[in-house]
Amino acid sequence: MKLGGLRTRLLLAFSLLVVITAATVAGGAYVQSRTVILQQAQDATARVLVDKATALFPLGPLPPADGTLSRISGELSDRDLSSLVLYEDKSSGNEQMRALISPELRERVRSGNVAWQRVDSRGTPMLVVGTRFTVLLPGGQQRDSGIEAYIARSMAPEAKSIDELATRAWLIGGVALVFAIGLALLAARGVLRPVRELGDAARRLGKGDLRARISVRGSDELAGVARTFNETAEALERHVGELERMEADARRFVADVSHELRTPLAAMTAVADVLEQEASKLPGDAGRAAKMSIEETHNLTRLVNDLIEVSRFDAGAAALAPEEVDVAEVITASLRIRGWTGEVEGDLPSGIFAEWDPRRVDVIVANLVGNALRHGEKPVALRLSEAGEWITLEVSDRGPGLAPEVLPHVFDRFYKADSARARSGGSGLGLAIAWENARLHGGTLSAANGVDGGAVFTLRLPRLGVTA
Q: Is-cis flag, bond preceding 58, omega within 30?
A: yes
- Of the candidates 299, 368, 357, 302, which has an alpha carbon nearest to the alpha carbon of residue 327? 357
Averaged pLDDT of the chain: 84
Cα separation, 401 vs 136, whole angstroms: 125
Q: What is the pLDDT of residues 55-69, one digit of tens each?
A: 877 676 777 777 888
pLDDT digits (tens, 9 = 90+) for 335-390: 999 899 888 998 999 899 999 999 999 999 999 999 898 888 888 999 999 998 99
pLDDT over 50 at 421, yes or no: no
The amino acid that residue 205 corresponds to is: L
Amino acid at 342: G
pLDDT tens digits along 168-183: 878 887 887 788 778 7
Of the ranges 6-20, 122-136, 406-420, 437-451, which is most confident?
437-451
Calpha distance 305→303 (Å, rounded) = 5
* Backbone phi and psi for residue 232, each to the nearest 5 degrees, phi listed first: -65, -45
**Residue 464 to residue 468: CA distance in whole angstroms:** 12
- The string of DSSP codes covering 253-291 is HHHHHHHHHHHHHHHHHHHHHHHHHHHTTS-HHHHHHHH
State if pTM tops 0.85: no
pLDDT band at residue 280, thresholds of 50, 70 and 90?
A: confident
Taken in order 328, 369, 427, 461, is the CA torsion positive or negative? positive
Contact 395, 457 (CB under 8 A): yes
**Residue % of the chain over a pLDDT of 90:** 24
- Sheet harboring 82-87: ordered strands across? 90-93, 82-87, 142-154, 124-136, 115-121
For range 445-462, the mean pLDDT: 91
The one-letter amino acid code at 62 reads L
Instruction: For residue 429, report the phi and psi dihedrals to the nearest 5 degrees.
Output: -120, -5
Band of residue 79 on the pLDDT scale cut at 50, 70, 90: confident
